[in-house]
Amino acid sequence: MEPTTALLERVRAWIAADPDPDDRAELEDLLARVESTDPRNDEARAEILADLADRFSGTLQFGTAGLRGRMGAGPLRMNRAVVIRAAAGLGAYLSSVVDRPKVVVGYDARHRSQQLALDTAAVLTAAGAHVDLYPRALPTPLLAFGVRHLDADAGVMVTASHNPPADNGYKVYLGGRAVGGSGEGAQIVPPYDAEIAARIAAAPDAVDVPRAETGWSLIDDKVVRAYLDRVGTLTADEDRRLKIVTTALHGVGGPLLATALAEAGFTEVVPVPEQESPDPDFPTVAFPNPEEPGAIDLALGLAQDTNADLVIANDPDADRCAVAVLDPRAGTHRGTETAASSGWRMLHGDEVGMLLGSEIAARFDGTPGATLASSVVSSRILGPIARAHGLTHTTTLTGFKWISRADGLVFGYEEALGYCVDPESVRDKDGISAAVVIAQLADRLAREGRTIVDALDDLARAHGLHVTDQVSARFSDLSLIPATMQRLRDEPPATLAGSRVTEIVDLSAGHGDLPPTDGIVLHCEDGTRVIVRPSGTEPKVKCYLEVVRPVAAEADHEVMSAARREARDQLDQVGADIRASLGL
């Protein structure tokens, strides 16, 4: 650990350069408690020193995900000083590539999001940019839409998406004159991230960064209206039959989703009242991510109580979309049934991806150059779906910064509940438009006397039964993650669920059209695939599992149910084997 005297001097220097009085007071209080000579404070003093050492152990790094971290004072936290310098670096970069850059800034309802957005607007305006600021907390897809709709050179969204309440983040998009082609309006990738990061590193102390008091413009609701009109082009205005339960998980997507569904003809939409209004503390969920166990239990319970047909959940910034359905086979899906929601289960992200992919592919059937894209860790079924419709399929690295850059993109998805159903207007995942398209599909099936589950069976009969899952391990000691990955490289398993491992691909060397990334792919003789990689946003190692089984075209409901049970059992064994191999 850094010597105490040197550490405390760096804390004092940060205080002197921090423009936020609350953050200065937070650090000043910690300093006073550390410097107290009262022996009764010795234990607390040690804890405070460890906390300060952590806060000052580095600088929150700007990369392809922008910034994301725990809020608090200090260089390794999300705060005004860090964001002001980030905005200064972004402004310097933009000014080096375009004259008087145009920037759109948005924010969600997390703690401090509005202030961080205002700081960004003030810094960029002072740097000579034309800044359009959204006037209230709105979903991330509105920011991505605004970059393209307003022909902006860049966009900034202050959000931590589905992270815990203590976190916040800062996503950067480039467009307009700053970047063209398929990347226009998408999140940054290399080399843009490194070029912006270099200018952030060269920025002055936050207190010395010029900030305008006025000069930016507030975006009026015409842009929100334009977004809703665009979503409306994805669906027909009909007399719908479905009753839908929705939840915003205390985020900002509720009003926009309600309006989009209403304008698509859905008149029976019931929001979860406890989670309808934005609340940055997310009081009813342990973790505000629809994928997490228990996150949508209130929605499932309400769906059962109201005899609903469909459940749609957005994450707090509404760029992700989760779907739950009544499934007579719910008991065959491990961990998806609760006492309050018998018969209901949340679809896996790959299941929603294949449904939406098939729906969009049918609209572009035979269109030259039209492409479906999915991340390397998502199900392989999107490839056969694309080919069946005469379309191209491409596999990208994980994350929509890569998916959205696919040439000719008409649909893209990743298994972590991210779907892009209209890349022409939103070059990112969009939980609002995806919800409208999946609701329309469910409604059309209901008119035919069929269900979402029937549609999944149809895809299995046509392209093989693809069943996926994920196992992961969270690490408190980040140094153990590289060691875990190296263990797999040194001693890969010979078999998974009894099937011989026939191919091992180390993605760190690059593979096919994929640039290098930290990941390992295991292919088995029976078609099973496992991909192991460190998470890009959490201290986790994630293992993505896929079992593929052929299904006869004439397979009936009973045969399909048996096939899914067998695939589920095999997937469980694959998960157990890979965990053992990793020492988890």
Burial (CB count <10 Å: 0-12, 13-18, 19+), residue 537? middle
Which residue reads 């300093």 in tokens?
Answer: 31
Phi, psi dihedral angles at 199 (to 5 degrees)? -75, -30
Nearest CA to 142 among 227, 229, 218? Answer: 227
Q: Which residues share a beta bridge with 524?
A: 501
Q: At 80, which amino acid appears?
A: R
Taking the C-alpha atoms of residue 235 and residue 443, their distance in angstroms, rounded to an integer, is 11
CA–CA separation, 80 vs 67, rounded Å?
12
Distance, in Å, from the CA atom of 511 to the CA atom of 517, rounded to the nearest integer, reads 9
The yes-or-no answer on residue 96 being catalytic is no
CB neighbours (10 Å) of residue 37?
A: 6
Identify which of 64, 18, 59 has the alpha carbon closest to the alpha carbon of residue 170.
64
Query: Cα(183)–Cα(153) distance, rounded to whole angstroms?
Result: 12
| DSSP-assigned letters across all residues of 329-367 | TGGGSTT---GGGTTEEEPPHHHHHHHHHHHHHHHTTT-
**Rg of the chain in Å (alpha carbons):** 24
Give the distance, in angstroms, between the CA of residue 265 and the centroid of all CA atoms in the same chain: 28
Cis peptide before 190 (omega within 30 of 0): no
Helices (H) and strands (E) in the chain, counts: 17, 22
Q: Give the HSE-up count for residue 310: Cα atoms under 13 Å, Cβ half-sphere.
A: 30
Element housing 499 (H / E): strand 499-506
What are the backbone angles phi and psi of residue 157, rounded to the nearest 5°?
Answer: -120, 120
- Pick the catalytic residue from 36, 113, 161, 472: 161
Instruction: Return the number of other C-beta atoms located less than 10 Å from residue 47's C-beta.
Output: 11
> Could you tell me the strand order of the sheet in which 520-524 lies?
465-474, 540-549, 529-534, 520-524, 499-506, 495-496
Q: How far apart are CA 261 and CA 562, in angstroms?
A: 36
Q: What is the DSSP string of 160-185?
A: -TTS-TTEEEEEEEE-TTT--GGGTT
Mapping DSSP onto H, E and C, the string for 305-317 reads: HHCCCEEEEECCC
Other Cβ atoms closer than 10 A to 62: 24
Residues annotated catalytic, as ranges: 161
